[in-house]
Amino acid sequence: MLRINVELKTHPYPIYIGANLLTTPDCYPLRAKDKVMIVTNPTVAQFYLSPVTETLQKIGCETEHVLLPDGEKYKTLDSLNLIFTALLKANHGRDSTIVALGGGVIGDIAGYAAASYQRGVRLIQIPTTLLAQVDSSVGGKTAVNHELGKNMIGAFYQPDAVIIDTTTLNTLPKRQINAGLAEVIKYGAILDYAFFEWLEQHMRELVALKEEALQYCIARCCQIKAEVVASDETEKGQRALLNLGHTFGHAIETHLGYGNWLHGEAVAAGMMMAAALSEQLGNLTQTEAVRLEKLLAEANLPTLSPDSMIAEDYLPHMMRDKKVLAGKLRLILLKTLGQAYVASNLDDRLILNAIRRCSQTNENVLSHT
């Protein structure tokens, strides 16, 4: 078992990474007689609700659970209310603990519930998808979606522990594995060139879920995320770099309807748009952009805009993004592989051109410009 500490001044907490951790009582910061509400969905519950419940009961906890509908389209205030209703009906107080057992959607909703219920209760994140393990479970971003924009209603709220059991990936559909690899590639692209090179060498092992490669990969991503969050918990500076591809990607998710493209799929296409824009601005070289495109393709991820979207569809969604300040769109771009920066005051025509370069009608344009 690996342990990584998120060194926040006000709320430090551990991330545990390893096999069969769901049934390891020492990973849970709980005591006998603690009241616990497990938040999960039917897809995850069929595999992991019983082992987690049994482990908590061994500790001596009083456990209950609430099942939310499965999917991004249910990341709503209605689902949040289901958690509040379950907590209130069972007379949970401010000393209760919410356990988020599932992927990014469950982690985000349960996290926001923990931040809001009686103005804050304890939270344990148990991510069961690769995307949640390498990214969304760490760092305290919690939220639900609005029909006009993704993650628009939420809070920064840190967990008391993150428990990453790598064996949960064995029941994850391949498409979900691939989606998680988008966030993995992002870390290398923005902050760690050596890790990007490692991914170029080991992507096949990750796609095949080889345990040694997976553990190293998840640990490296969590280390990067922990360092960034410790230096900028509420995204006033460097943490914004973690959003490479996300402003474009959120536009795709919102326009198509939540859940049609997975978050990681949308971010992958968004990263290529950011790369195309970085290349236009004279930063990223064409060779580097092609390397990013190749790595995303090796992870079976899209590198082009959905064929049902045109460039002009993006900007209205992007202007509602949380990174817009004083009416100005800010985008995360690449100076080079392994080094990102925040760009503002960009000409809309350049942005639209970058999107067009990554459209279905201009296939492989990055390789031929």
Domain of residue 82, CATH code: 3.40.50.1970
9 as an active site residue: the answer is no
Q: Find the catalytic residue in 9, 31, 91, 119.
A: 119
Backbone angles phi, psi at 264, to 5 degrees: -65, -35
CA–CA separation, 86 and 92 (whole Å): 9
Residue 364 pLDDT exceeds 60:
no
Q: Which residue among the candidates 235, 265, 279, 288 is catalytic per the annotation? A: 235
Tell me whether residue 263 is one of the annotated catalytic residues: yes
Among candidate residues 123, 147, 171, the one where a domain is terminated: 171
Of the residues 72, 145, 151, 183, which is catalytic? 183
CB 229 within 8 A of CB 140: yes
Indicate if 255 belongs to the active site.
Answer: no
Active-site residue identified among 35, 75, 186, 246: 246
Looking at the 3D structure of the chain, how many domains does it have? 2
Active site residue 35: no
| Residue 362 pLDDT grade (very low, low, confident, very high; cuts 50, 70, 90) | low
Residues 233 and 272 in one domain: yes
If pLDDT is split at 50, 70 and 90, which confidence band does 326 have?
Answer: low
- The percentage of the chain sitting over the pLDDT mark of 90, rounded to a whole number, equals 92
Label residue 368 by pLDDT band (50, 70, 90): very low
Among 139, 171, 203, the domain boundary falls at 171
The answer to whether residue 172 scores a pLDDT higher than 90 is yes
Q: Residues 336, 187: one domain?
A: yes
**pLDDT (mean) for 80-84:** 98
Together in a domain, 240 and 110: no
298 is catalytic: no
| Cβ pair 313, 251 in contact under 8 A | yes
Same domain, 361 and 260: yes
Contact 244, 334 (CB under 8 A): yes
Catalytically annotated residue among 92, 122, 150, 239: 239
What was the pLDDT predicted at 324? 74
Are 215 and 233 in a shared domain? Answer: yes
Among 61-75, 190-204, 325-339, 354-368, name the one with the lowest average pLDDT: 354-368
Give pLDDT, residue 180: 97
Q: Which of 41, 178, 243, 283 is catalytic?
A: 243
State yes or no: is 119 an active-site residue: yes
Which pLDDT score is estimated for 320? 86
Band (361; pLDDT cuts 50, 70, 90): low
Say if residue 310 is in the same domain as residue 351: yes
One domain, residues 282 and 360 = yes
From the list 225, 317, 322, 357, the catalytic residue is: 225
Phi and psi, residue 163, nearest 5°: -115, 110
Q: What average pLDDT is seen over the chain?
A: 95
Whether 120 and 268 map to the same domain: the answer is no
Q: What is the pLDDT of residue 107?
A: 97
Residues 22 and 63 in one domain: yes
Q: Which of 10-19, 134-143, 183-192, 318-327 has the lowest mean pLDDT?
A: 318-327
Nearest alpha-carbon partner for 141 in 132, 149, 318, 73: 132
Domain that holds residue 184: 174-368
pLDDT of res. 360: 77
- Residues 164-188: what's their mean pLDDT? 97
The last residue of a domain, from among 171, 200, 221? 171
Active site residue 202: no
Catalytic one among 150, 250, 322, 330?
A: 250
Residues 196 and 166 reside in one and the same domain: no
Do 184 and 129 lie in one domain? The reply is: no
Q: Domain holding 261: CATH number?
A: 1.20.1090.10
Catalytic residue among 92, 220, 263, 330: 263
Give the pLDDT band of residue 132 (cuts 50, 70, 90).
very high
- One domain for residues 157 and 84: yes
Asked about 317 being catalytic, the answer comes back as: no
Is 291 considered catalytic here? no
Residue 367 has pLDDT above 70, yes or no: no
Q: Which of 102, 95, 112 is nearest to 40 (CA)?
A: 102
Task: Determine whether 33 is an active site residue.
Answer: no
